[in-house]
Structure 1
Amino acid sequence: MPSKPPAPAANRLLAALPRKDRERFMVACERVDLQYAGVLAEAGEISHHAYFPTGALISLIAPIDGHAALQVGLVGDEGMLGMPLFLGVGASPLRAVVQGSGKALRIGAAAFRREIGSSPALVRLLERYLYVMAAQFAQTAVCTRFHVVQARLARWLLMMHDRAYSDALHITQEFLAYMLGVRRVGVTRAASALKQRGLIAYHRGDIMIMDRAGLEAAACGCYAADKLLYACVLADHP
C-alpha cells in the first residue's frame, strides 16, 4: 500500500495566496504536462516562463566545468521554478530537468512580472520561498562535503518521496550521479547498501521505497533540517 496520500490538486505556494490574488494569477497561467527528462531551463540562458508544479518534480542541477554536475535542489508542488525572473536577472545559473512527470502551471515572463508588481502577498511569499531554496542549496553543499554517500542518497530519496506522492521513483544512473556527485561505482554501492538493508528495492532505474522510517534513520541530519526550515518559514506563512 502507498505510504503517501493522493497528490493535492494545486501548487501549495499558490494555495497560500489570498483568494483574489490567487484567482488573478491562475487566469494568467496555462496548465502543462511536464515529461520525464524534459529540460525546462539551461544554465546561462534566459528564462521565458515560470513553473508552479502541481504534480511534477523538477531537479535543479549545477554544472561543473562542463564535464560534471551536481543536483542542488528539488522543486515539487511546494515551490516554483523561475526565481531569476522574480529577481529580475533573467538567466538561470542552474539546469532544470523534469525528474518526475506530471502537471504544472506555467506563466510567461511578462505576465509573471505583472503579477509580482500587482500582488504584495505574492512578493512576500516568493521572498520566503527564496530563503528556503537558498538554505537548501547551502545545506546541499555542506552535505556533499561532509556526509557519506549512503546517507546523502537516503536524504535525496526522502526529498523525492515527499514531493512525488508515490513509493515508486524512476531514477536513472545519471540522475543518481547528479544527486551524489560521485562516479557510477559509488552510486551502485550506495543504492545496493540501502537495498540490502531492506529500505529500498532497486532495479534498472526503478526505486521503490520499502521502509520509510528506516530510510529516515539512514539519512544524514540534512533531511530533518530541510523539513524543519520549510515548516518554520513556509508552512506557517501569514
Structure 2
Amino acid sequence: MPSIVAANRLLEALPATERGRLLDHCEPVVLRFAEILAEAGEPIREVWFPIRCAIVQVARIDGHANLEVGLVGDEGALGASLVLDVAESPQQALVQEPGEALRIEAGRFRRELARSPALTRVLRHYIHAQMGQLAQTAGCTRFHVVEARLARWLLMTQDRAHSSQFHLTHEFLANVLGVRRVGITRAATTLQSHRLIRYTRGDITVTDRAGLEAAACGCYAADKICYQRSMAMPAAARTQPQP
C-alpha cells in the first residue's frame, strides 16, 4: 500500500499537535470503485478522510429511486455527523472515484473529539458548508437541465480526483443524478461534441476545463463559495495568537 500523508483539508486545518494525534489513529486505505462505505440508518462505524478519491452520498427516494445529495473529497470527511452526536448514517455512501483515504474507528474518533476543541470546531463548520451545498443541490436538481448538472458533477469529480481523467459509467451517473440513462447519454454527447470532454466506455477526460465551467450551472461556483465562507472562521481562529 502506498504511503499517505495528511492531504485532507480538514486535517490540514487542525493545529499540528492535534492533527498528529488524530493521524496516529488513522489507517491509510485505498478505496475501490462502487465500494459501499455506509448505509442509511445504520450505525457509523468508521470516519473517512478522503485524500485522492471521491465518495458520493445517495438518498433513497420512495424506496426505489436514488438521488445524489453530496460528494465528499479531500475537502471533507464522511461520518462527520458524529460531532453532533448523530450515530447513524443519514445516507448511503459509496466510492465514486477510487483512490486513497484515511480511516479511523468511530469510537476512537469520538475520544479525539472530546480531547480536541479544534477538531470539533472545524467539523461543525464543515457540516455548515454541507448544509448549504445540500440546499444548492436541491435547487439544482429541480431547476437546471441535465447537461448543466452533468457538467457541474464532472467538475466536482475532477476537483476531488485531482486528475483530468476518471471513470464514470452512464448507469452510475444516471443513478446519482436521478435521471434516465438516455438523458446522461445525450448530455455527455453534447459536451463531447463541444470538445469539452472525451467519453469512451465510462472513461472521461476533461479536455476544456474553462469550457466545462461555462457549460455548468452556477451551482458549481456557489458550492465553492459556500465552502470557503463556512471554513474561513476555523482558519482565522487557527492563525490568531494564543494568550
TM-score class, shorter: over 0.9
1:115 aligns with 2:112: yes
Give the Cα separation in 2 of the matches to 1:49 and 1:217.
38
Structure 1 residues 183, 155: closer, same or farther in 2, change over 3 A?
Answer: same
The more displaced of 83-92 and 10-19 is 83-92
In structure 2, the partner of 1:74 is: 71
Q: 1:45 aligns with which of 24, 42, 45?
A: 42
* Superposition pairs of residues 165-204 of structure 1, within 5 angstroms: 165-204=162-201
Give the Cα separation in 2 of the matches to 1:143 and 1:97.
21
The more displaced of 150-159 and 88-97 is 88-97
Q: 2:215 aligns with which of 215, 218, 230?
A: 218
Residue deviations 1:165-192 (CA, integer Å, cap 9, x gap) = 1111200122211332111111111111
The more displaced of 227-236 and 76-85 is 227-236
| Runs of 4 or more consecutive aligned structure 1 residues displaced over 6 Å after TM superposition | none
1:18 aligns with 2:15: yes
Give the Cα separation in 1 of the matches to 2:111 and 2:18.
12
Question: Residue 132 of structure 1 aligns to a residue in which SS?
Answer: helix
Residue identity over aligned pairs, in percent, reads 59
Structure 1 residues 92, 22: closer, same or farther in 2, change over 3 A?
Answer: same
Give the Cα separation in 1 of the matches to 2:84 and 2:170.
34
The more displaced of 45-54 and 224-233 is 224-233
* Superposition pairs of residues 95-134 of structure 1, within 5 angstroms: 95-134=92-131
Give the Cα separation in 1 of the matches to 2:157 and 2:16.
29
**TM-score computed with the length of structure 2 as normaliser:** 0.91
Give the Cα separation in 1 of the matches to 2:204 and 2:80.
30
Counterpart of 1:94, as a letter, is: Q
2:81/2:127 contact within 8 Å kept? no
How many residue pairs align between the two structures? 232
**Shift in Å, 1:8:** 7.9
2:56/2:96 contact within 8 Å kept? yes
2:146/2:187 contact within 8 Å kept? yes
**TM-score computed with the length of structure 1 as normaliser:** 0.93
Instruction: Let me know the Cα RMSD of the aligned residues.
Output: 1.5
Residue deviations 1:61-120 (CA, integer Å, cap 9, x gap) = 111122110111111111100023222221112111011111111111111111111111
2:83/2:124 contact within 8 Å kept? no
In structure 2, the partner of 1:209 is: 206
Give the Cα separation in 1 of the matches to 2:176 and 2:192.
17
Counterpart of 1:168, as a letter, is: Q
**Structure 2 spans left out of the alignment, 5+ residues:** 237-243
Q: 1:148 aligns with which of 136, 145, 165?
A: 145
1:47/1:84 contact within 8 Å kept? no
**Structure 1 spans left out of the alignment, 5+ residues:** 1-6
**Shift in Å, 1:9:** 5.3
